[in-house]
A and B are shown apart, each in its own frame.
Chain A
């Protein structure tokens, strides 16, 4: 005589059903608890009750041969499955997962089945959410408490759910082959457990499956459904999870829309003041963000929430009522303020932890595999390594090291840091530290393979990076580490942020890394194209913003801007942008040059760049210098322009006769007094040149170009003179020292 079967159709990640489930289990005291989840992970289930475990965590299944093929099954504190497992461990009940083993899903994936085919369709995954949406609820949990718990008068909650699902399933079409196989597997497992168990057996599964699992089918029929399912060798373990990833997730219960709200529902139990505590939480988050929120406003929000619920004929103010009330009373009607706090309030920043003794983390395994593949051994002592990026093995090693660096595991350090792939050679210094293993395990949150985790981590850093320059730097890291997805995200972010900023410095700072990527990066075609379109736009934007940014700067700010402009000019030349963009850039430089209010140092630098870019002829440049340095201009102003124009361009003065003549002519024309007054400035400008260069400049200025390289030039008759000279030296050497 098989044991009694108790079916609990739950809502994945539904705090409402989790609470009812715990109550029901406590009342029924089953001897076995069967949970919808990969059957081959049953051994890992008791770990859920380990005190070292902190939710959210995810069950991670990955293919042994290819860890990139991984599935996650996340659990939150308020997941009914998690609560059921905890109850079973605490009460010594048999505990088992009964769904198709993870090997099945991974096998299909390895066989190339598209991801969508593996996901449950939305109705069967969250039928309660769908019913709620149909009833005009944005939040399934509010619907659960309003409809399932309120209206199921007399009827136990789970019986009501099962009835509703039976009605729903009668309307739906036949399940997909995968769904049919899952239910067959679960039915067989349930039958087996019922035979073995000496007490009632509780089945905890998604509400949708209850009617299917209750169906009476012959075992032979079910076994036939399971024949020929694909298989892959799988490894299973727990991984720490985060609240933001719960909000996305994959596998069971994908998409908890608002983990923060669910956690609140769970934490507040059935308390009557649930709405007020939620509003108080909203108020607290808003105050932390610097918004002024009074207690009186919170009271008003509560009243408005109740009134709204009454008007919408709902027994309690739910998520939407409280949101609308909070916007009207606390955010002064601005939904932007709500969106500002929503991420913190609704998603939160919880990070889970896994107990010690959890099976080996896949990232470490992946690292070991890759170390073998690229033949690099971890050694604690520093060891230099030179890589030739033209060879496949060199590139593979470099990519691995760059990815690890992105994961904050700096196994290798670039000896000539700061240089990207301008050359085909990279010089690394390798040293493995033991704590790197720990860091790798921490990185499990980001993904199951080094590539996935590095990409996800970079993407996260990019999302949190407000400044354009560092963002472009991160994008370059993503490109170098061959992480196309992160690179795409970075490009999109760069685009948005660039559009929203009008800070010339920030825009200029983004140009050099972009130019390097475009010039040297091994970017995937799509991203490179996107970047190639984006860079001219940022350049044009910077050009538009420059003239305003160049006005009225102090010494420090102006030299910062000057440096940024010089770097941007180099980047624009390096990236070989189209003529139109370059014209816009030159236009901005010309505007700055002519702008009365522009800081002279910057104007001077603009003048020189235009001159070097052949936008100004030699004569015009001479006239320009003359005008800007004329006696009517205050010495400080003239000095700024002179410095801007010539600093770092001393070399140019040596070789460029026209420019030299202009400067020379201007200097000669200076009155004694003003020459003396400007002397410190001249010293400053020419102090960049070394002695040799200075002498050559002096010679050039004196018109003695012929003799400028004294001691290094052959005399005209040297060839003829040499044999006689050599003979005399030989004689001297052979004669030895004079006696």
Chain B
């Protein structure tokens, strides 16, 4: 039993990957461990040639995954967009694991990420002792991926400053990275590519420059299609999170999840579930992940302040926090939703009262 809290995808699913590789007769692009079709099977689930069951890694539209894999096969960089909680990082990790067998070359982009963490850094002791040389260079995951012909993953690309993002332009278009200090360059080996993820609904992150945007093929990962699917995902995740936080799960979680999801979905989609009334959507994303956050927050409040019962009152303040991102506009949107829809709906009286009260 390993002590590691979480192992990389290629280690967890080593069996599936080996089975797929063994039975994979299709042509593989240079540097790929599997053929594109086998990669799609790995992500969407199915069976390998020898009958080994392949678990479903991504629940959703097969076409999106096909587009993503085909993009990487044409040596174009792939950008996965989506609101939080749509499995962007998850898909990127599994793509890297299946295609090159290594999902660990990751750069987590933040506002503090500078060029040295994207291109290469210097080992200053070496630099002082020997002057600029390859030995004094500290390679980044990107550089190692280029040299090894692997996939490099850039998480939350748009959180990084625009000037740092633009470092990638040469790498993407010319597949090389100049090292002017040494008057040399790193040339990417076949198989090298980049998978970036970014959030398309967040406010206050850096825009992707159009020069960079043009160098990516973009796949937008959507929110779950049906309410049942979403409720199931949330109930499962809330259960896991409550457990890891040592919170006793109240009995009525599933019912309240269904109600919160109903409200979130209606606001998000801009119409009631029966399609009869069209609505405005708030400026925030209202993702599945936020619904999970609302539920976990509500449960923790219920546990510590409300003798363990999950009520609309305990959830309302968290819901308002999730819905109202822009104090003027979103409040008006929520107010309108409460007055025109929720007021008359049976089973939601508690939510109407609590939300109207706290808004």
User: Hey, what's the 0/1 contact readout for A487-508 against B, CB within 8 Å counting as 1?
Assistant: 0000000011011101000000
Report the bound CA distance from A308 to B278 in whole Å. Answer: 37
Known contacts A308-B70, A584-B339; A499/B277 CB under 8 A: yes
Does A701 interact with chain B (Cβ within 8 Å)? no
Most-contacted residue by chain B among A320, A328, A584 (CB, 10 A): A328
Judging by beta carbons under 8 Å apart, are B67 and A541 in contact?
no
Query: Number of B residues contacting the other chain (C-beta, 8 Å)?
Result: 34
Instruction: Say how far B72's CB is from chain A's closest CB, in angstroms.
Output: 9
Does B213 interact with chain A (Cβ within 8 Å)? yes
Does A222 interact with chain B (Cβ within 8 Å)? no
Query: Number of A residues contacting the other chain (C-beta, 8 Å)?
Result: 36
For the complex of A and B, the 5 pairs showing the least CB-CB separation, nearest first, are: A333-B218, A499-B278, A307-B70, A333-B220, A328-B217
Does A272 interact with chain B (Cβ within 8 Å)? no
Residues of B within 8 A of A324 (CB): 63, 66-67
Known contacts A502-B280, A544-B335; A300/B217 CB under 8 A: yes
Instruction: Say how far A537's CB is from chain B's closest CB, in angstroms.
Output: 5
Judging by beta carbons under 8 Å apart, are A537 and B278 in contact?
no
Report the bound CA distance from A297 to B217 in whole Å. Answer: 9
Chain A minimum-CB-distance residue to B221: A333
Report the bound CA distance from A296 to B280 in whole Å. Answer: 37
Judging by beta carbons under 8 Å apart, are A541 and B336 in contact?
yes
Residues of B within 8 A of A541 (CB): 336, 340
A-to-B contact residues, CB < 8 Å: 292, 294, 296-297, 300, 303-304, 307-308, 310-312, 320, 324-325, 327-329, 331-335, 495-496, 498-500, 502, 537, 540-541, 544-545, 548, 584
Judging by beta carbons under 8 Å apart, are A311 and B73 in contact?
yes
Selected contact of A333 from candidates B66, B219, B328, CB within 8 Å? B219
Instruction: Say how far B207's CB is from chain A's closest CB, in angstroms.
Output: 12
Chain B minimum-CB-distance residue to A138: B63
**Could you count the A-B residue pairs with CB atoms below 8 Å apart for me: how many are there?**
91
Q: List 13 A-B contacts (CB under 8 A).
A: A294-B214, A296-B214, A300-B76, A311-B37, A311-B69, A311-B73, A325-B67, A332-B81, A332-B218, A333-B81, A499-B277, A537-B340, A544-B332
Report the bound CA distance from A320 to B70 in whole Å. Answer: 14
Residues of B within 8 A of A584 (CB): 339
Instruction: Say how far B264's CB is from chain A's closest CB, in angstroms.
Output: 17
Known: A328-B219, A498-B278, A499-B280. 17 other contacts (CB 8 A): A292-B210, A304-B71, A307-B70, A307-B73, A308-B66, A308-B70, A328-B71, A328-B218, A499-B277, A499-B278, A500-B270, A502-B332, A537-B340, A540-B340, A541-B336, A541-B340, A544-B335
By DSSP majority rule, is chain A's interface helix, strand, loop, or mixed? helix
Report the bound CA distance from A335 to B270 in whole Å. Answer: 17
Judging by beta carbons under 8 Å apart, are B332 and A304 in contact?
no
Judging by beta carbons under 8 Å apart, are B336 and A311 in contact?
no
Does B79 interact with chain A (Cβ within 8 Å)? yes
Chain A minimum-CB-distance residue to B81: A333
Does B279 interact with chain A (Cβ within 8 Å)? yes
Chain B minimum-CB-distance residue to A305: B70
Instruction: Say how far A156's CB is from chain B's closest CB, in angstroms.
Output: 33
Instruction: Say how far B300's CB is from chain A's closest CB, in angstroms.
Output: 33
Instruction: Say how far B217's CB is from chain A's closest CB, in angstroms.
Output: 4
Judging by beta carbons under 8 Å apart, are A329 and B217 in contact?
yes
B 109-124 contacts with A by CB, 8 A:
none
Judging by beta carbons under 8 Å apart, are B340 and A328 in contact?
no
Judging by beta carbons under 8 Å apart, are B278 and A311 in contact?
no
Report the bound CA distance from A651 to B36 in whole Å. Answer: 82
Residues of A within 8 A of B280 (CB): 499-500, 502
Judging by beta carbons under 8 Å apart, are B70 and A545 in contact?
no
Report the bound CA distance from A501 to B73 in whole Å. Answer: 44
Residues of A within 8 A of B271 (CB): 499
Judging by beta carbons under 8 Å apart, are A500 and B73 in contact?
no
Selected contact of A540 from candidates B81, B332, B339, CB within 8 Å? B339
Does B226 interact with chain A (Cβ within 8 Å)? no
Residues of B within 8 A of A311 (CB): 36-37, 40, 66, 69-70, 73
Chain A minimum-CB-distance residue to B37: A311
Instruction: Say how far A644's CB is from chain B's closest CB, in angstroms.
Output: 24
Judging by beta carbons under 8 Å apart, are B74 and A303 in contact?
yes
Report the bound CA distance from A327 to B63 in whole Å. Answer: 12
Selected contact of A304 from candidates B76, B210, B335, CB within 8 Å? B76
Judging by beta carbons under 8 Å apart, are A495 and B278 in contact?
yes
Judging by beta carbons under 8 Å apart, are B74 and A548 in contact?
no
Report the bound CA distance from A135 to B274 in whole Å. Answer: 32
Report the bound CA distance from A496 to B280 in whole Å. Answer: 10
Known contacts A499-B278, A544-B332, A545-B332; A304/B67 CB under 8 A: yes
Report the bound CA distance from A332 to B79 in whole Å. Answer: 9
Judging by beta carbons under 8 Å apart, are A308 and B339 in contact?
no
Chain B minimum-CB-distance residue to A320: B63
Report the bound CA distance from A62 to B80 in whole Å. Answer: 55
Residues of B within 8 A of A540 (CB): 336, 339-340
Selected contact of A303 from candidates B76, B81, B210, B339, CB within 8 Å? B76
